[in-house]
Amino acid sequence: MQYKKEALLLMLFAVLLALTQRYSYSRTKDHLQKMYACWNDHLEEPHLSTWFDPKKRPDVIATTGWLAPVLWEGTYNREVLEQYYKRLNITIGLAVFATGNFSKEPLRRFIKSADKYFMVGYNVIFYILADSMYNLPYFELGPLRTLKTWRLFEEEMCQDCNLRNMNNMHSKIIQCIQYEVNFLFVMAVNQTFKNNFGVETLGKSVAQLHAWWYFKKPRDFPYERRTKSAAFIPFEKGDFYYHRAIVGGTPLNVLNLIEQYIKGITDDSTNKLVSTFESHLNKYFFINKPARVLSPEYNWDPRFKTPPEIKHIKIAWKP
């Protein structure tokens, strides 16, 4: 009898704990939504026409079908945006994962190049999420730069790498990042900044065009074509093929993307399907159109012959 009472109490405690966590998360996200609604009320971004001119690059697609800018060298006036953002004293976050069989050198190269070229003159917080703190290199950062490191939880090590990473990022945005930055970028570690990556890239949601597929037609894109998958995009549909290397926006929008990915991959798993992060990323942006689209200049694979459209490479990608 006593055992049954203890078991019942434990079950009741577990239910109350789950409800409390869910309520706490709901309140936290509500706070995040209200905070950014309030912030955006004061954030009247300069009109697109004052800093962006797609006519200067008639050789490329410089405006999407939903009228978002596709950023190419020559299309934007960064000085106009600098005058605006400088007075707001904004902080930008840049998160990167050091997981699996990573070596110190790619991470050191990524952070060192980002310190030099990423959002120069602005407050920046670098977030490193790592399997282990012992294998991280030493970093010397410039002014206005802060570095934070977090260790991934041991109990999550058995998960799919991307799912584990996104679960951790979801948790960190809720617990910490939302209070520290106005904009957040999540980037892959195997890339190196080559030129200034500036405030022209800031927006509510930011997507990176995949250099491998930019010159292809939508019917050729490697979208998820299985109808039972949550990432399914029909043939002849789609706008662009987006790269997982760079995702950005406000913390709230990055959080929404992550939640949709986690839900999608969980649904696929229930249906005994294995799907990729990039497939779900493309499905997300197919439904939720990005406010900023970064051209392949912002992430170019140097193994390819550089076409005349690529004028100024911001980041070099190394698969």
Any known ligand binding at 309?
no
DSSP letter for each residue of 290-312: -SEEE-GGGSB-TTSPPPTT---
Supply 282's token pair: 């493309």
- Separation CA 206–CA 203 (nearest Å): 6
Tokens 């049954």 label which residue?
A: 4
Count the neighbouring beta carbons within 10 Å of the beta carbon of residue 15.
10
C-alpha dihedral, 30 to 34 to 36 to 38, nearest 10°: 180
Any known ligand binding at 268?
no
- Assess contact for 283 and 265: CB atoms under 8 A: no
Count the neighbouring beta carbons within 10 Å of the beta carbon of residue 269.
14
Long-range contacts of 153-160 (CB under 8 A, 24+ apart): 157/131, 160/265
Quote the distance between the C-alpha of residue 111 and its chain's center.
16
- Separation CA 148–CA 96 (nearest Å): 11
140 is catalytic: no
Any known ligand binding at 97?
no
Q: What single-letter amino acid sits at 137? A: P
- Assess contact for 287 and 263: CB atoms under 8 A: no
Tell me the longest C-alpha to C-alpha distance in the chain.
80
Q: Exposed, middle or buried by CB within 10 Å (0-12, 13-18, 19+), for 176?
A: middle
Any known ligand binding at 102?
yes
With b for 16 or more beta-carbon neighbours within 10 A and e for fewer, the 248-268 pattern comes to bbbbbbbbbbbebbeebbeeb
Catalytic residue among 73, 200, 224, 278: 278
Active-site annotation, residues: 278
Residues tagged in the binding site annotation for UDP-N-acetyl-alpha-D-galactosamine:
102
Residues tagged in the binding site annotation:
102, 210, 278, 301
